[in-house]
Structure formats: structure tokens, C-alpha cells
Structure 1
């Protein structure tokens, strides 16, 4: 829940169900959690998957300190970071990723993976992500491939062709 709440603070989304406490519901549509931030973080290729429990523990420690500093009473049934409201989570994360924080690089890395899950669906094949309704890719207007599985863009994105095809380019678009 703690890491979901962190990811939701980075790219907010709507609650998955009415009692959802990890996702604050600060924005319409799916955010980082719906986009698979936790699945991406659990991927060994990220280099952080073995440290996720430590991240959650540290984040909850910072949240408990934040609550004490601000005189907040947290719901003891929830992890401290999850018990903060969205504005408080945002303020705490802003300080963790801010200049001069001794752990800044660790929190920025976690934030980058939250963004990556939303922006690229890095943990899932693009066609699978689109078929599943990935909120980030669809929100950015990423289109599905042609029937043969290849993406073609007959209307140039800059409104004009920028360069001629290399003479050794194969019919699939690959260089020879």
C-alpha cells in the first residue's frame, strides 16, 4: 500500500474502489498505480526490486516524522504514508526529492519508475498494454499497430517528411 500511495502521489489517478486508501483519487482516470507502477518496480531489471520493503519502511518512517512534526494523528490501521492525505503526501515527497535531501537520489529513482510505468508501460509489451487499456499510453494518444503488428505513420508528425529512406532499408523498415 505504501508504494502504491507513493506512485499515486507522483502520477495521481482515481480510486479503484470507494474504500481505496492507497490511491487518493486526486485525478480522474488511471494514474501510476493503474498503469502498473508496482509491477514495474517488482521487475528485477529495475535494480530496486530487492529493496522495495526497505523503501516502504523508510517512507513510512518519514511519514511518521512528518506527522509528528505537524501534530497530525494518523489512522493506526494504515501505514503512516498511506494515512496522510494527498496534499500531505505531496508535501512530504516534495521534500524527499528536493535539493539537499540526503536520500534524494533514492526517492527520485522511485519517482522515475512511477512515471515510467505511466508514460511507457515499460514492464509490458506495448501491444499488450494497449489491448489492456493502459491509461498512460491511451491518454497520450498512442495508437494501436496495423493488423500485421507494425506501426506506420502515413501522416508525418511534423507535417512533412524529414528525410528520404535509406536505400538499404528493408520493407519492414529495418536497416539492412
Structure 2
């Protein structure tokens, strides 16, 4: 395994800020070259580490016998099955090029945790992947503590993990529903109408709160 230096915090914070801005505006900037891709497969240490982190937040069942990244703590789909790697490695996100360094940072925390708790880690998988689900959960819980200097990193990763499962962020919503995205299916996200739009017969408050503006477009956009 080649040595990967810890990420420069200034660079990382700039990427996190750009990612947060992109998510809030919907204008995703192009990522720099050298991103990790989902094609790296489960054998890549970065991919395994990110999968294990996401599976700790939104666990799912193992994809195959011997699946180490997914702990198999529950039945049903989790963040990994819902495409968290595709979301994290999207070429439109500026965070993607830093995933190897973030994985290294997480594995360093796992080594420190294992040392403190007298846990013998395997040498054939990333340190975080080598932890049991119980210990992964305990470690991740501490990462979100106010005293952790890299808490913003883990917060951004957790946001993207949730988006992958709850919204199929890496897919068009219509495509995600039509292809039975695991997260949307598990949540019972409703199918669209025949024209590909979503409409709801019942008002949230049981009645219309205002009349439709006469200049509203056919797509529902305001005048």
C-alpha cells in the first residue's frame, strides 16, 4: 500500500465549502482530475473505507458472502446499496479528489481507537473496515463530538451519505424511481404520473391555502 499523506486542512475546508455551496444551489462545479471512481471496486482501500463509514451511518445487509465493508448489521438496503460511492465520487463534486486522504484520516483514527481498546486489526483490509460494527459505531459517534478537529469533514460525509439513500442524489429522480432505487423504494417514495411529474390529490392541510395564480406555467412554475 502506498503512503498517502494526511489532507491539508485548508484545502479540505475549501473543498467542503464548495461542496456545501454546490449542494445548496444545485450548481455543481467540475471536480479536479484524479478523482476516485466507483469503478475502483470493493478492493480499493478508499472505496472500502468510505463504504464502511456510510454503512455505519445507514447500515444495510451484506451484498455477498465475505463482504467486509458492509457489516450486515440489519436486513434490507443501506447507504452502500443506495449508491453512496457513486454520490461521493461524482465528477461534479469538488470533494471527490480528496477521498483518498479522508479515508487515510479515518483509518488513522481507527488505528488509534483500536490501540486504546486493545483491538487487534487485520492487515489485509483498511483499519476502519477491520473494526466490528459495534466499534465502528462507537468511533463514528466520537467523530461528531464538538472537540474533534475534523468534525466538519464527517458532517459533510454524513450529509452526502443521507442524500445518497434518501434522495438518490447521483440519479435523476424519475430514473431512480423507475429503476427501483433501494433507498427510495425502502422509504416508499411514490411513483410519478404518466407525464413524469408528481402531483398529490390531497392538500397537506386538508384544503387549498390559496388560489392558483392565473399566470402559473404548465410545469407549476410561478409567473
Q: Tell me whether 1:122 sits opposite 2:169 in the alignment.
A: yes
Deviations 1:34-66 (A, max 9, x none): 111111111133321010000111111111111
Structure 2 unaligned runs (5+)? 1-47
- 1:137-176 equivalences under 5 Å are 137-176=184-223
Q: Which runs of 5+ in 1 are unaligned?
A: none
Aligned to 2:52: 5
1:74 corresponds to 2:121: yes
State how 1:25-174 maps to structure 2 within 5 Å: 25-174=72-221
* Worse overlay, 43-52 or 119-128: 43-52
- 2:31 paired residue number: none
Q: Distance in 2 between matches of 1:25 and 1:156?
A: 40
CA RMSD across the alignment: 1.3
For 1:165 and 1:3, locate their aligned partners in 2 and report how far apart those are by CA, in whole Å: 46
Q: How many residues align?
A: 176
Q: Which sits farther off after the overlay, 42-51 or 57-66?
A: 42-51
In the TM superposition, what is the alpha-carbon distance from 1:77 to its structure 2 partner?
1.4
Structure 1's consecutive aligned runs of 4 or more residues displaced over 4 angstroms after TM superposition are: none
- C-alpha distance in 2, partners of 1:102/1:30? 32
Normalising by structure 1, report the TM-score.
0.94
Q: TM-score under structure 2 normalisation?
A: 0.75
Q: 1:23 aligns with which of 70, 75, 93?
A: 70
Q: How far, CA to CA, are the matches of 1:10 and 1:98 in structure 2?
A: 15
1:45 and 1:4 map into 2 onto residues whose CA distance is 20
| C-alpha displacement of 1:152 | 1.1
How far 1:17 sits from its partner (Å)? 1.1
